[in-house]
Amino acid sequence: MKIRQRKLLGTVVLLVLVVVWSLLAMALAQAPWIAASKLIQFAYYVIAGLGWVLPAMPLISWMSRPDREQAQPS
pLDDT of 9 above 60? yes
pLDDT of 28 above 60? yes
The pLDDT assigned to 12 comes to 97
pTM of the model: 0.77
How do the residues of the chain divide into helix, strand and coil, expressed in percent and rounded to 5? Answer: 80, 0, 20
∠ CA 68-15-18, nearest 5°, is 120
Longest CA pairwise span in the chain (Å): 63
Closest CA to 5 of 65, 55, 50, 49: 65
Query: Tens digit of pLDDT for each residue in 38-56?
Result: 999 999 999 999 999 999 9
